[in-house]
């Protein structure tokens, strides 16, 4: 059996063509956050739903039962 040798070279500097000196940190963060509403489900809960549509349907049903139906388009 042959021994594997890996020749990896660690480069600690960025290439000259990757110039971010004029970059603006967080330029699009607010716009991204407006369209993002992520919720992390526990693994046992996530296993009960095949996709996000199933989760949304279940939550809408719960809202109807609770009497808090809101129209969402």
Q: Which of 14-18, 38-42, 53-57 has the highest mean pLDDT?
A: 53-57
Lowest average pLDDT, out of 23-27, 28-32, 60-64, goes to: 28-32
Q: Are 49 and 55 a contacting pair, CB within 8 Å? A: yes
Q: Are 40 and 31 a contacting pair, CB within 8 Å? A: no
Q: Which of 63, 60, 56 is nearest to 37 (CA)?
A: 56
Indicate whether 22 pLDDT > 60.
yes
pLDDT band at 3 (very low <50, low <70, confident <90, very high): low
């Amino acid at each position: 059996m042959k021994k594997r040798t890996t020749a990896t070279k660690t480069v600690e500097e960025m290439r000259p063509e990757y110039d971010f000196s004029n970059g603006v940190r967080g330029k699009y963060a607010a716009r991204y956050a407006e369209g993002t509403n992520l919720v992390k489900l526990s693994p046992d809960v996530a296993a009960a739903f095949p996709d996000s549509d199933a989760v949304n349907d279940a939550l809408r049903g719960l809202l109807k039962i609770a009497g808090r139906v809101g129209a969402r388009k």
